[in-house]
Structure 1
Amino acid sequence: MKKESFNKDWLFVSKKSEIKKRVTLPHDAMQGEERRADCESGSAGAYYPGGVYEYEKHFTAPEQWAQQHIVFEFEGVYKNARVYINGKEAGGAAYGYIPFFVCADGLLGYGEDNVIKVTADNSRLPDSRWYTGAGIYRPIWLHTGGKTYIEPEGIRIKTLDYRPARIQAEVLASGGEAEIEILDQGKVIAAASGKRAEMTLPDAVLWSEDTPYLYTCRVTLKENGKTVDTAETAFGVRKIEWGSRGLFINGKETLLRGGCLHHDNGILGAAAYKESEWRRVRLLKEAGYNAIRSSHNPASRAMLEACDALGVYMLDETWDMWYSKKSRYDYAEDFEANYKYDLRAMVERDYNHPCVIMYSIGNEVSEPAFEKGRKLAGEMVDYVHTLDDSRPVTGGINLMIIAKSSKGKGIYKEDGSGADTAGNEKKMQGMSSTMFNMITSMVGSSMNKAANSKTADAVTSPVLDTLDIAGYNYASGRYPLEGAAHPERVIFGSETFPQDIYKNWEMVRKYPYLIGDFMWTAWDYLGEAGIGAWAYTPDGKGFNKPYPWLLADVGTFDILGNPNGELFWAQAVWGCLKNPAIAVQPVNHDRKPAKGAWRGTNAIPCWSFQGCEGRKAVVEVYTQGAAAELFLNGKSLGKKKTKECRAVFQTKYAPGRLEAAAYDRDGKETGRSVLQSADGRIGISLMAEKNPVKAGELVYVDVALTDQNGNLEGNADCRLKAEVRGAELMAFGSANPRTEERFDSGSYSTYYGKALLAVRAAEKGSIYVKVSGEAGTAEITIKAE
């Protein structure tokens, strides 16, 4: 079937205003809402209200479509999507994170104008523990073909072996006879006939993080000798094996340097633009990550394609809840009616993506404390195996939650589960997920040992042993115990505190059955406002931070994609740093910060805080070396032994040259790095991350306050205004976690000297970007081809 974009020229309306607006998909309707302190979404949803949203598009259906098969593919609509074609309901999906297909056969007026309408409803809040976005936030595709056709996602490639490379190709079609070809850069290297065939690929390049090599499978469908349909899919030759000896990709032991990742794209909200998803994956890979956990919902197709091409392993996750609620109006109310549909939709989409190495059936659910939940877990694992027996099934299991739930001490006050002394489920007195996180923020890393008891082991083992590979959320205290207690169990840290990276990674390297670590989190996100913040404002204490807190303020990258000390620390531990990295805890504050549990440092790579001379400065140096020395303007501030790949220095801030040297155990210098203060007049600098770009493509423009030599100034933040010609200004913002400013206003204040623009090229020609404010004016031209 022919596949084409169906994303342009939609009319969008929020039922609150009835003002129609023309949009190009993907589109996050929630970004058009006014945040309010009294919004029902609360800190979890970043104080954004929801609503009921409608999208409408007029299109002509050619006469020949009357003899064809027409399908609309929706990659994701949040949530409770309903699709109408010419006034008749044609399909939809309750879950906001899974793809679904709508058949238009018999519903169209051929040779005339047609109307497709999509409604999305997230008006009842709270419905999540993070910012969800709303509306058609992922792309739509139109599939057209004859009555004999290859189904969308109808080619399935499975690696049977890798020495030599053998694959199985399966074709799902409405009829006809299939011819299968395997192409390597356009050259046919293997072929077979039939809808199911095994083939050997000569001298195949195996897919892995080091060699993300992709082949193409082309299927030609024939009827009475005539070609009636063709389809292609990319795939990689990649086989997964696992056991108490570890995780093996094509026979090579693999340790997962992972990070958890929410689905939003920062200043663009939840909209899943291809360029944004590829950008995140690229930056994570360049930083040393080799794995992503999609938290806590299936990743976008664009992100999977980026992981395939760039060589990043994906742990694709389904839900944050099962049938017990964590938020008052979350998906638990629809779960039992839809969970098999959701699993099938995810697996069928993911099947050919070599990056997907595990499916996760959930995150931090309490249901496995009880018989119904344990039985459900087993049924879901078995069901996924029937859909795809080539990948392991896992889950992000918080052992403390299950242990406490089994005693009738509920974690989520919205859920209806609990247990009496006979182990029967019942209503129980619980706490909200926010309250649970508040307690966690106070307990901090001590939670890692909360489930070390034999009683907790007995309660959690049934679900952990149901999984092929067991994911442990905040339970690193169990890592050393499991080899003896459960010699057949394979485990990994599915969610961990970033400040524990050194201890966790030492155990990953030591215990064969411990295959990786996924820190919370790799990239900052909207919602769960302030969980990782080192806050300097009076309202920054505790977990449940009030309006106008916006961001989680957690992660090794901020929402703009700027790295910080958390990343440098992980890179040092992983052995990814050639030279020492320097980061400084912000000097321009008069009080000590209230420290969030999900952050080990708030240091940033900046040594320029004008007006802060003489203030205390905490400087962190990250290296695998045995010692580090710090120099300020050529004067040594001392040499220190590193502890867990970090050395911390204290000095008084003075502008100039801050330099760090690293030394091995023999005292030999192994590398140096420098941070330089800005000097003289501070102005605005702009840099397009890509130039030229294609018409219709999204491009990011980095905005910074710098001196004439490009040195960043971290204490001259000001409000800036962005203007664009020849393109659409999609968003403008900074990484400020506490603000009332809007990403869609065209005006925003820098944060520690940085901001970011996202623009979309309208057509071929020149794009002019102008940014102005107290710091002056800067312009840049980008070519659109």
Structure 2
Amino acid sequence: MKYLRLSFLLAFIVFNNFAFSQNNASRTELSFDENWSFKQEDVAGAEKPDYADASWRKLNVPHDWSIEGEYDKLNTTGRGGGYLPSGIGWYRKIFTLAEEQKSKKISIEFDGVLSNSEVWINGKSLGKRPYGYSGFTYDLTPYLNFGKGKTNVIAVKADNSIQPASRYYAGAGIYRHVRLVTTNPVHFNHWGVFVSTKDADAQKANMSVEMNVENETSTLSVVELQISMVSPAGKTVKIFTPAKQNLSPKGKLKFTQLLAIDQPELWDVEHPNLYKAITKIIVNGKEIDQKTTEFGIREAKFEAATGFWLNGKNIKIKGVCLHHDAGSLGAAVPLSAWERRFKLLKEAGVNAIRVGHNPASPEFMSLCDKMGFMVMNETFDTWTASKNNGENGYNLYFKDWWEKDTRDLALRDRNHPSVIIYSVGNEIRDNLDSPEGFKKYKEQQDLIHSIIPNMPVTMALFRPSASKVYTNGFAQTMDVVGQNYRESELVNFHEANPTLKVIGTENGHTQAGWLILRDKPYMAGQFLWTGFNYLGEADWPEVTNNQGLFDVSGRWRTEGLQRQSWWSNKPVVHMVRRDDNAGKGDWVANWTPSDFDTYDVANVQVYSNCEEVELFLNGKSQGTKPKPANDSPRNWELTFEKGTIKAVGRNGGKEVSVEEFITASEPTKIILEVEKTSISNNWDDVVYVTAKVVDKDGNICPNATSLINFSVSENAEIVAVENGFNASHEKFKDTKRFAYKGSCNAIIRAKASKGEITITANSQDLTQGTTKITIK
């Protein structure tokens, strides 16, 4: 869903006040993101309407205040939270409503507040929500003021002061979108429309549309429901008008319509076709509510002997795990940042994402639909037993909240064709060798089945031999048996129990693990830990976990280069060398040693899926090597020479892929690179600008660590800076950053609706770099 920006809808905005009136539209969903007042401390009385907040910081949400803070080894978030600040933050927003709104139902929807939130309207507490990853809604109607000169005040308290609360970076504040939703008293429920595929092939899809309608009036309503099915091209392919229904006073109705679509355009990872169902409620000939639900038509199933099938095609799930942060952006991640990351994952050959280990944002899930990623949706990192570095996390709330949080996630995400499986826990420490452990799992699995029939459920089992789940019957209760790491154990378990379905829920970057996925037909897939480096779960002085295919800035890591040679369908050639002499040091992708005086023996590896690779040094062949049967890299040991090293990949004797590195000389200038040349004035749209330190010939200087100062014209802002260095303690909310491996990024957002943004990068003794971006 694209949210309308208030600036286009309102006649005026003055500080944090806004007013709106509405015509007789059946449903209106307005962004409620702009013009909040914020205070990063506990404030007595801040929930009261008359509290004076004029001195508070003015900002828009989504907002993560923790990412703006200073790194400190003594911060109570500790290792898990990346040593960034925790505490209490308050948000307040003042708005007015027109008199004609009195007959409407008005609700507020939060996509997530971290964490332990409480929301007030005009001093009335609407409720609390401990789990920061759950979306929730509150009915404001009984407590609102309407009419000229009458104001309303929303107040939100977010409290993550009890630490350590997470094994990985969580963030703090209203870090996801907020909406104000207005409907008539007879309306579709929140998450009340469910479109599902019963069966489908290229000729016909049998579908079901479930509609949940509520009557909040005191009179009987005779409702007519209408369903319009719209194709991916935007053409209405069918309209269904079921028989009229009586909806009793203060009553609810669940109505299910079965229907068929001929020659459907199926959703899959290569063709992520998306339909829309436009559902309407009509009373006395007048439309009183309308919802648009995006969905895909597909058939997905797991088989014990052959793994995973999508639309009748047997495919391997080549997945990665992702946390919800995006490095320097923290937990408040613009959609275009995820789109940038997803494009890189696609390039690496990834076709699936496990959201680890908590619900992602709604727009994240929709982007998976649109870009063709299969998803393992996941609910919790803990049940009742705590984990190290997160002792005060969800384990404190699971008993009272698991059912509500699980139900809400399943209802929210049940229309996403990308979701092919649910996980109800990651490496759970609760005793699974007990009736209580069995009960906890089954209750969660049964709840998801009741909301999304035929949706398989798993969990990421932890050390199965120690927990006895392979011998006590626990694994046999799972729809699909999932296990973290120890791939050979899962192989042995399946081969002893060949009727059970299996999947790797979390896997390392090992060659052995890849070969199990490649060669074992029953292994449905695997999810690498991780797709991108992430904040937290690191030992000081490091503050970022370093297990991704990419670092937090989007730079390819060695693991990503190798994985692309295993997973990509296109010809791939990548060279890396040992950074230190004679096979010592880390693998790096360049031909510029950090110490020319001591570097003479270069160990070179080439990752490639090509039939043969030939290596050249300054134009002289170093030999040709065939593709090993076990997909291992090809190795050369060379006497280092300055100049050019080149790897050429061939299939059938034809050159299909080439990579070349040139030894860099002294740094002389900065060049700026952008991945897109235009941007819109929208919170969810940002541009990553990469500053590269290069020599006189434009070759990147991978050992340069220059301090880069960024500046932008007045019609833009620098949202954050980053360089991908895991032990950097520089602030992300800044305009300067040291280069790492010769480069760093600035993330830019527009502040105007048109014009041209100028971005400049300066550093001492280097010629500055400049580029321009157009505002749409």
Normalised to the residue count of structure 2, the TM-score between the two structures is: 0.87
In 1: Cα distance, 2:579 partner to 2:617 partner: 17
1:252-271 map, 5 Å:
252-271=313-332
Residue matched to 1:109: 145
Unaligned stretches of 5+ residues in structure 2? 1-26, 44-52, 216-222, 243-254
Quick one: which of 197, 209, 222 aligns to 2:269? 209
Residue matched to 2:128: 92
Q: Contact 1:682 / 1:713 at 8 angstroms: preserved in 2?
A: no
Q: Contact 1:631 / 1:637 at 8 angstroms: preserved in 2?
A: yes
Residue matched to 2:746: 757
In 2: Cα distance, 1:554 partner to 1:466 partner: 32
Question: C-alpha displacement at 1:205, in angstroms?
Answer: 0.7
Quick one: which of 524, 549, 561 aligns to 1:515? 524
**Are 2:703 and 1:715 aligned?**
yes
Residue matched to 2:681: 695
Residue matched to 2:512: 503
- Opposite residue 660 of structure 2, the aligned amino acid is V
In 2: Cα distance, 1:609 partner to 1:731 partner: 30
**Are 2:483 and 1:472 aligned?**
yes
Q: Contact 2:448 / 2:455 at 8 angstroms: preserved in 1?
A: no
Q: Contact 2:281 / 2:290 at 8 angstroms: preserved in 1?
A: yes
- Opposite residue 67 of structure 2, the aligned amino acid is Q
Q: Contact 1:571 / 1:577 at 8 angstroms: preserved in 2?
A: no
- Opposite residue 257 of structure 1, the aligned amino acid is K
Quick one: which of 726, 731, 741 aligns to 2:720? 731
Quick one: which of 686, 689, 710 aligns to 2:672? 686
1:487-502 map, 5 Å:
487-498=498-509, 500=510, 502=511
Question: C-alpha displacement at 1:214, in angstroms?
Answer: 0.6
Q: 1:122 to 1:612 in 2, by over 3 A?
A: farther
Question: C-alpha displacement at 1:311, in angstroms?
Answer: 0.5
SS of 1:369 mapped into structure 2: coil
Q: 1:44 to 1:649 in 2, by over 3 A?
A: farther
SS of 1:606 mapped into structure 2: coil
Report the more deviating stretch, 520-529 or 27-36: 27-36
Report the more deviating stretch, 42-51 or 677-686: 677-686
Residue matched to 2:166: 128
The one-character-per-residue Cα deviations of 1:714-734 (angstroms, maximum 9, x if unpaired) are: 011111111122112110111
Residue matched to 2:762: 772
Question: C-alpha displacement at 1:708, in angstroms?
Answer: 5.0
Q: 1:243 to 1:403 in 2, by over 3 A?
A: same
Q: Percent identity?
A: 31
Whichever structure has more helix as a proportion of its residues is 1
In 2: Cα distance, 1:237 partner to 1:680 partner: 56
Residue matched to 2:226: 179
In 1: Cα distance, 2:134 partner to 2:353 partner: 18
- Opposite residue 139 of structure 1, the aligned amino acid is H
Q: Contact 1:74 / 1:100 at 8 angstroms: preserved in 2?
A: yes
Normalised to the residue count of structure 1, the TM-score between the two structures is: 0.86
**Are 2:650 and 1:660 aligned?**
no
- Opposite residue 288 of structure 2, the aligned amino acid is V
- Opposite residue 524 of structure 2, the aligned amino acid is I
Residue matched to 1:782: 773
Aligned residue-pair number:
704
Residue matched to 1:285: 346
1:176-575 map, 5 Å:
176-184=223-231, 185-194=233-242, 195-244=255-304, 245-326=306-387, 327-367=390-430, 368-398=432-462, 400=463, 402-404=464-466, 406=467, 457-459=470-472, 462-498=473-509, 500=510, 502-529=511-538, 545-546=539-540, 548-575=541-568
Question: C-alpha displacement at 1:148, in angstroms?
Answer: 1.5
In 1: Cα distance, 2:748 partner to 2:371 partner: 24
**Are 2:632 and 1:645 aligned?**
yes
Q: 1:574 to 1:32 in 2, by over 3 A?
A: closer
In 2: Cα distance, 1:570 partner to 1:475 partner: 19
In 1: Cα distance, 2:635 partner to 2:550 partner: 21
In 2: Cα distance, 1:167 partner to 1:667 partner: 50
Question: C-alpha displacement at 1:31, in angstroms?
Answer: 1.4
In 1: Cα distance, 2:205 partner to 2:309 partner: 16
The one-character-per-residue Cα deviations of 1:476-502 (angstroms, maximum 9, x if unpaired) are: 11243234311211111111111x1x3
In 1: Cα distance, 2:277 partner to 2:597 partner: 63
In 1: Cα distance, 2:632 partner to 2:560 partner: 12
Q: 1:590 to 1:234 in 2, by over 3 A?
A: same
Quick one: which of 576, 579, 591 aligns to 1:607? 591
Q: 1:186 to 1:626 in 2, by over 3 A?
A: closer
In 2: Cα distance, 1:733 partner to 1:672 partner: 30
Residue matched to 2:621: 636
Q: 1:604 to 1:10 in 2, by over 3 A?
A: farther
- Opposite residue 693 of structure 2, the aligned amino acid is L
Report the more deviating stretch, 283-292 or 31-40: 31-40
The one-character-per-residue Cα deviations of 1:586-635 (angstroms, maximum 9, x if unpaired) are: 45x99965xxxxxxxx5343323465355154432101246544322123
- Opposite residue 758 of structure 2, the aligned amino acid is Y
Q: Contact 2:72 / 2:83 at 8 angstroms: preserved in 1?
A: yes
**Are 2:599 and 1:581 aligned?**
no
Q: Contact 1:278 / 1:302 at 8 angstroms: preserved in 2?
A: no
Q: Contact 1:606 / 1:712 at 8 angstroms: preserved in 2?
A: no
Q: 1:103 to 1:266 in 2, by over 3 A?
A: same
Q: Contact 1:43 / 1:549 at 8 angstroms: preserved in 2?
A: no
**Aligned-pair Cα RMSD in Å:** 2.2
- Opposite residue 239 of structure 2, the aligned amino acid is A
Question: C-alpha displacement at 1:656, in angstroms?
Answer: 1.9
Question: C-alpha displacement at 1:456, in angstroms?
Answer: 6.7
Q: Contact 2:571 / 2:610 at 8 angstroms: preserved in 1?
A: no
SS of 1:514 mapped into structure 2: coil
Residue matched to 1:154: 192
Q: 1:761 to 1:668 in 2, by over 3 A?
A: closer
SS of 1:504 mapped into structure 2: helix
Q: Contact 1:40 / 1:47 at 8 angstroms: preserved in 2?
A: yes
Question: C-alpha displacement at 1:303, in angstroms?
Answer: 1.3
Quick one: which of 607, 616, 619 aligns to 2:604? 619
In 1: Cα distance, 2:370 partner to 2:92 partner: 34
In 2: Cα distance, 1:464 partner to 1:279 partner: 37
- Opposite residue 606 of structure 1, the aligned amino acid is N
SS of 1:735 mapped into structure 2: coil
In 2: Cα distance, 1:604 partner to 1:3 partner: 49
SS of 2:471 mapped into structure 1: helix
Q: Contact 1:239 / 1:249 at 8 angstroms: preserved in 2?
A: yes
Residue matched to 2:12: none
Q: Contact 2:68 / 2:732 at 8 angstroms: preserved in 1?
A: no
